[in-house]
Every structure is written in structure tokens, then in C-alpha cells.
Amino acid sequence: MSKQRPPRFRDVWVNQTELGKHFNMSAIAIGKKLVELGLRTATKAPTELATAEGYCRFTPMKDGTPFYLWNKDKVGALLRSAGVRQLSHAEVEARETAQSLIQAHAQAEATGIDKLWYFMVDDIEQRDYPQINRFLGELGSPIRLGEVGDAPHEPQQA
């Protein structure tokens, strides 16, 4: 008989940035969606509905600054019912990889040290290239993974 442990706090309650990752949206875009859904006011405070129905939780920062976390499952269900497409786990990972590659590429360009970039690219399975390239494009990067000449892991400029 296996005991199922309760979910961890951070698996249930997330900030807008984390929530946005699952819907391919920025924290600002998620905030606007929360307003549309009636969970957040124009002044960025949660509505009475959001707190009363358990969509939101007040979690002040150490210095007392008001901070709110959102119930990932409950808000996610509302977003999906409003027609917002949720990314799969593989898509979330591909998007995060694309963001990391963009940062590493910028650092390599700025410093001339590209070793980290090549280590990162070498760790990526070629089967994941199309998904990562999709997000590189969506994020506005000209970088693409794929073969250039005889170097299988050279980034391409789109």
C-alpha cells in the first residue's frame, strides 16, 4: 500500500511569472488575463472572488510588501476554459531551454567566450531541435539549432 503525499506548497501556489510559463505568456500578460477573468482588479490587487474562492493567496514578502500567489490548477482551468492554450511539459522545457540559449549566446557574443554555449548545445538532443527552434523564433531570436556545413551543433542565424 503506497501513501500518496500531499502536494508541496510550490507545486500548488505560483507567481504570475511561473504561471505564465505554462501558457507561453509573460507575467504582465497573465496579469491582464487575470483582470479579464475577474480575479484581479485594475490596481493589481486580487478581487474578492479570487481570495474567497481560493484562486489567490496573500503571501507577504519578508519586508511586508504585499505579494500574491496563484493556485496553478484552479487558475489554469479558468485560463483553459477562456481559450488559452496550455503548453505541454515538453514545450515548457523547450521554451526554458530556448531562453537559456539566448542568454548564453548573448554572453558569448559579449565576451567572446563561447565554451558554455557549445556545452549547452552539445547537451541538447537533435530530436528536440524543432521544438526549441520554435520557441527561439517566438522569442524573437535569430538563433536556430541545426546543421551548418559539417558542424552538427553550430547555431544558425535565421
Alpha helices (H) along the chain: 9-12, 16-21, 27-36, 48-52, 72-81, 89-111, 115-122, 129-138
Rounded to an integer, the average pLDDT of 76-94 is 94
Q: What is the pLDDT of residues 22-55, one digit of tens each?
A: 999 999 999 999 999 999 998 989 999 999 999 9
Rounded to an integer, the average pLDDT of 57-83 is 92
Q: What is the pLDDT of residues 100-143, one digit of tens each?
A: 999 999 998 899 888 888 889 999 999 999 999 999 999 999 99
Place of cell 481560493: 54
> For residue 83, what is its C-alpha cell?
481559450
* Nearest alpha carbon to residue 134 among 119, 120, 150, 145: 145
Of 97 and 157, the one with more pLDDT: 97
* Residue 43 to residues 19, 31, 32, 50, 132, Cα–Cα distance (Å): 20, 11, 11, 14, 36
- In three-state secondary structure terms, 32 is helix
pLDDT of residue 118: 87
Q: Which residues pair with 57 in a beta bridge?
A: 69
| Boundaries of every domain in the chain | 9-81, 89-157
